[in-house]
Chain A
Amino acid sequence: MRNPVENTLSKQLSRRSFVNGLATIAAASAVPGGFLLGRGTAHASENSSSEDQRFLIVVGATGGANISDCFLPALMSQAQSPELANTIVNYPDGVVVQPEGSNIQAVKYLGLSPLFTSDYSPETFVSKYHEDMLVMANEVTSVNHMVAQKRSITGNGINNGVTLMEAMAMRHGTNMPLPNVNMGVGGYIEPGDDRNIPDWARSELITGPALFAVSTHGTKGILFRPEDELIDRARGVREELDTVSPFAHTFQHSKLRNQYVDKRRNSMPMLEEKDLISLLTLVADSPGIPLNTFGLQSSPQLPELVETFPLMGADPFQTQAALAYLMIRHKVSSSVCMGLSYQPTIISPPAPEPPVILDTPLAFDFAHNDHLVSQNVMWARTLKVLDGLISLLQAAPFDPADPGAGSFWDRTLIYVATDFGRSKTRPDGSYAFGTGHHLNNGSLLISPLLGGNKVLGGIDHDTGLTKGFDLHSGMTVDGPNQIAEGHVYSTICQALDIDFPGIINMDAAFS
């Protein structure tokens, strides 16, 4: 007898398989507007209703965020011998905390470097959110940054190369204007490999979140433009020109052109109707950027965003988080990817204050130069921004008219994706050393949709390697870690009610 989860998955599979079949037929019809057909009708039956609407935030912890430097640390005291302990990347008991009620440990912020600093400690994060946290030990399949990053979002191809964000867009974003937005870097912005993914589910890349709003309206904010009614008329004439011209006739079968026309005729009005240019602008009216002069305005949520992310605008990561919040809050996107850049962020306050460096160069990959500093500072930096983002989502009701609908956070999953782990050894007794890339690592998922406050797997204190776990009971399993990218992918999909052939049942993550 199947358990309830399997039953649910089975039903979803058959229903969605049928719907996907319809979508394929619609795409194959190759009629102008066929792309809209795929989105507007064939997928309509699997649209998220407001009841089961979910959101996914993928945070690219670029460069290799090592789980054993934050939530699954090897302890010096637990090693077989002091001599062995001196050669493993581990921590003294005094810097590892386990807040009350939490089953998850965390390495405190250590303040090891005067140059790279943070005012946030991971223990704060665990204290606040341990109920929603799931730490999964795993082992990835590549130590190449780009390859590993992409595998972290495709589950190493477990779903025919579909990225988590694409799967999310198809399941929960069919009625959203930008179902899949991506502000990440490197492999985290790579498109999936499944050519059958509809064009609208592909990621919309954003590199300038602060002023992305102006990219959501074709004409608003342009001085001396004709009246809106005249612009609409010109657009109408343009559409007719694009129908009667010899060019349109000759190239009527161009997929590229049809994609463009489809977006112009169908997706663009969705963006403009939502007036996103007024909702998503993350800068304030000022003499430097006189929004009002252009008939624009700041986001109504700007005050709370500035309070939560005071360096928004100057700090790209905080700015991304602010836009991620707005995208979800206004139901523009079902999937948002953000991420740390390889480039360090340097804030220059007014003199005589010295510049502040918010993250290490190359993000987590600065571990090549100084492992402890880079891992400790970058984990703190990542978690501080996530703390702000989660607190905003918790405070935002999903449906103000329906208190029972809960908050946006109740429907959101954050996946801290990373490339790979770091090598587990250090020079004898050294606290200032560099590490290389290593397959062995773990993942951090945060969501009320998970069975939280849990560590799946464990750590070998003699080797620094993480251990796997039983998929159903969650018991730690000794020996090589068999949990791979596909298990993480399946866990996320299961939490978000996304089905696909070959999904691995990850009951352990939900018990």
Chain B
Amino acid sequence: MRYVRFIFSLWLVLSVSACVGSYNQQHPTKDVGADVDPTDADGYGEPDADGDADGYGEPDADGDSTDSGGDAGGDADGGPTDSGGDAGGDADGYGEPDADGDATDSGGYGDAGSDADGGPTDSGGSPLDELWPEQSPDDMAVSLKANLRWKRGAILKNDLSQALGFAPDQSCKELELFDCFMAHNIPLGGSDPFGSGLYEPARSPQVTTPIAVERIIMQTCVRRALVDAVGPAVVFTELDLASPALDPTDLETLLAVDKQTRILYRRFLARNPTIAEKDLIRTLLLSDNGELVSATDFAVMSCFAIGSTTEFIFF
């Protein structure tokens, strides 16, 4: 009987492991690397400046005896309070365990990856993550049908207001007078049966559709930044919006920027950014002339850039 129980336990463990592995293979863009390590140039975890030999969070090089497990993400700080398990701080209201234990993670859907920031609550992650480093998009399958749907006005309104934490009717007003989604109803793929007798909306986006989208995303991002600046912040939690300039050479700034990027990606697109995407967002820290950008401008620009991608407009 004891033998049978052992066999069953072994089978159970193996099955769960297989399931987790399968999931990670199918979701390669999930947070599998040291995703906010500012010194990891490509995010694949080669030796980096934080002392973690590969960035995947094997036993630390710092000799920290208090790192009590669960940190698979390359924690190199050696902080004495680093411990396993979710330290709470799930601010997104979805209630799932926030793996990084970061109390300010407000975009969260449960970060299965790991922090490399060395923060005192850094924890979580799965040892399996290291087996599947982030894939290049080019390695992914291309959809042959590519049967996308256009996120027309009503859906866009709901998704955008949810992403940026507004009530649907508060997110955007043209000239502060007219509801944006009414003003741009037709370009956003709406119908107008009682007015113009447009019973069937446009089959595909019009010329003015991307313009309407940009106006709406921009206005909502600006509004979010302004509201967050006077706090308490809901979306731009990682940035000091009063800062007149963000220094891209400062590691803490980069860390905050990456975290903010991750929050925006989760809020808009329900996924984590890839390394390449994070790198692109970082470039917004400087203007074309090489001048530093204020925190508010960076917040709006990054929000606008992510929110107006086709990934948010189609599904």
Q: Is the interface of A mostly helix, strand, loop or mixed?
A: helix
A217 in the interface (beta carbon within 8 A): yes
Chain A residues proximal to chain B, CB less than 8 Å = 177-178, 183-186, 189, 191, 199-200, 202, 204-208, 211, 214-219, 221-227, 229-235, 237-238, 240-242, 244-257, 259-261, 263-264, 267-268, 271, 289-291, 294, 296, 341-343
What does the 1/0 interface line of B202-245 toward A look like (CB < 8 Å)?
A: 11111111111011001100100010000000000000000000
Asked, given contacts A221-B175, A234-B305, A268-B211, whether A257 binds B314 with beta carbons under 8 Å apart, the answer is yes
Name the residue among A184, A230, A290, A341 with the largest chain B CB count within 10 angstroms: A230
Q: What 5 A-B pairs are tightest by C-beta distance, nearest first?
A: A218-B214, A264-B210, A249-B137, A254-B146, A234-B301
Chain B residues, CB < 8 A from A233? 283-284, 287-288, 301
A205 engages B211 (CB within 8 Å)? no
Chain B residues, CB < 8 A from A241? 277, 280, 305-306, 309
Asked, given contacts A249-B142, A257-B310, whether A289 binds B177 with beta carbons under 8 Å apart, the answer is yes
Distance A342 CA – B183 CA, assembled complex (angstroms): 21
B174 engages A244 (CB within 8 Å)? no
Chain B residues, CB < 8 A from A199? 204
CB distance from A290 to the nearest CB of B (A): 8
B205 engages A260 (CB within 8 Å)? yes
B32 in the interface (beta carbon within 8 A): no
Q: Which of A191, A207, A238, A271 is B305 in contact with, Cβ under 8 Å?
A: A238
CB distance from A326 to the nearest CB of B (A): 16
Chain A residues, CB < 8 A from B305? 234-235, 237-238, 241
B310 engages A271 (CB within 8 Å)? no
Asked, given contacts A185-B197, A223-B222, A246-B274, whether A256 binds B314 with beta carbons under 8 Å apart, the answer is yes
Chain A residues, CB < 8 A from B10? none
B218 engages A219 (CB within 8 Å)? yes
Q: Which of B178, B195, B269 is A341 in contact with, Cβ under 8 Å?
A: B195
B297 engages A218 (CB within 8 Å)? no
Chain B residues proximal to chain A, CB less than 8 Å = 29, 137-138, 140-144, 146-150, 174-178, 183-187, 192, 194-198, 202-212, 214-215, 218-219, 222, 226, 269, 274, 276-277, 280-281, 283-284, 287-289, 293, 297, 300-302, 304-306, 308-311, 313-314
A219 engages B214 (CB within 8 Å)? yes
Chain A residues, CB < 8 A from B192? 207
CB distance from A244 to the nearest CB of B (A): 5
Minimal Cβ-Cβ distance residue in B for A296: B175
Q: Which of A206, A218, A225 is B300 in contact with, Cβ under 8 Å?
A: A225
Chain A residues, CB < 8 A from B288? 229, 232-233
Name the residue among B146, B149, B202 with the largest chain A CB count within 10 angstroms: B146
Chain B residues, CB < 8 A from A244? 137, 274, 276-277, 280
Minimal Cβ-Cβ distance residue in A for B306: A241
CB distance from B29 to the nearest CB of A (A): 5
Q: Which of A177, A251, A263, A296 is B205 in contact with, Cβ under 8 Å?
A: A263
A245 engages B174 (CB within 8 Å)? no
Chain B residues, CB < 8 A from A225? 218, 222, 300
Q: Which of B150, B178, B222, B293 is A222 in contact with, Cβ under 8 Å?
A: B222
Asked, given contacts A226-B300, A231-B301, A242-B309, whether A260 binds B314 with beta carbons under 8 Å apart, the answer is yes
Q: Which of A191, A204, A268, A341 is B210 in contact with, Cβ under 8 Å?
A: A268
Q: Which of B185, B187, B204, B211 is A256 in contact with, Cβ under 8 Å?
A: B204
CB distance from A27 to the nearest CB of B (A): 14
